[in-house]
Amino acid sequence: MSVELVEVVRSGFRECVHRGSLVVLDPAGATRLALGEVNTPIYPRSSNKPLQAVALLRNGFAPADPRELAIATASHEGEPEHVAVVLNLLRRRNLSEHDLLCPPDLPANEAARARVLTSGGHARRVFMNCSGKHAAMLAVCAERGWPLDTYTDPSHPLQHEILATIAELSGEDDESEVGIDGCGLPIVPLSLTALARAFTTLVTAAPGSPERAVADAARDQPWLLSGTGRDDAVLMSTVPGLLCKAGADGVHAGALPDGTAFAFKIDDGHERARLPLTAALLHRIGVERTEELADLASRPVLGGGVRVGTIRAVPDAMR
């Protein structure tokens, strides 16, 4: 059963709560904190992307620089630089945007979307937030001689390699049915405990290994991993050494350099719960409570342009 994790307090009244489940593991993998259903499989959505990126490196993905590896791990906003990195990744391998099988979309970033629309543009596959991952998968298929037009199929050899890699990194080979994510690719179910364990594996891996390369690229390029003002960019820029990756429908996972890791799922999927909960949780597990982190742990509720309330972690949950 899930528990209350985040509350919205407006004008002194507790307006609503966001329930969910949360786990923290110590560097050895022992459970330090468990709230709710932490051993029941969920679909981690884009929080699985760093694990998928490890599989791509193991199977021949050769990024030109950390930027290309970061975009392969990204849920980007479709801002011009995001798009440029994806297109260059494709171009270097004689591939094009037309080879992508993710659905067309407009940029998620408001300013980028406005520029596209006011210039007469339209939805494109490269604007879709998962286009970096799709481009990297195409690059691997081209390298290995695997079919390019079916790489999203769960029976494709690349998807078998990704499934095996995620099972290895997480220590969980669940028999639940593989789902299909919003971008059309298979999504592997994991428990929150297994997801956190995988993030520990990434940050504690040996330098130069595929696991560590993914962690280092994400931490080196947090903006490319997400976008302007997005939770992961803000958090990794605020907390040195933190690796974290958000997933749709209220999922978040991350790890500190020593291997302490966390993962949570907000039941109602509301994104406003993610940032204050993660910030409060980081302080709970030992990150210094700086002014910047304290600000992230208490997000404003506005009324008429004035702060009239707060979104924050439920105090009892963080004790």
The whole-number pLDDT of residue 175 equals: 61
pTM over 0.85? The answer is: yes
* Burial bucket for residue 22 (CB in 10 Å: 0-12, 13-18, 19+): buried
Residues of the chain falling short of pLDDT 70: 174-176
The whole-number pLDDT of residue 174 equals: 64
Rg (CA), the chain: 19
With CA atoms as reference, report the closest residue to 137 among 177, 81, 183: 183
The whole-number pLDDT of residue 318 equals: 78
The whole-number pLDDT of residue 319 equals: 72
With CA atoms as reference, report the closest residue to 23 among 47, 7, 52, 46: 47
> Which positions ≥6 away from 261 have C-beta within 8 Å?
24, 25, 196, 197, 199, 200, 203, 253, 254, 255
The domain locations on the chain are 3-318
CATH architecture for residues 3-318: 3-Layer(aba) Sandwich (3.40)
CB 90 within 8 A of CB 99: yes
The pLDDT tens digits of the residues spanning 191-250 come to: 999 999 999 999 999 999 999 999 999 999 999 999 999 999 999 999 999 999 999 999
Q: What is the DSSP letter of 42?
A: B
User: Of all helices (H) and strands (E), which one includes residue 20?
Assistant: strand 13-25
Nearest-angstrom CA–CA distance, 8 and 257 = 31
The whole-number pLDDT of residue 176 equals: 66
CB 172 within 8 A of CB 146: no
Per the structure block, which two tokens stand in for 222?
A: 């947090």
CB 31 within 8 A of CB 43: no
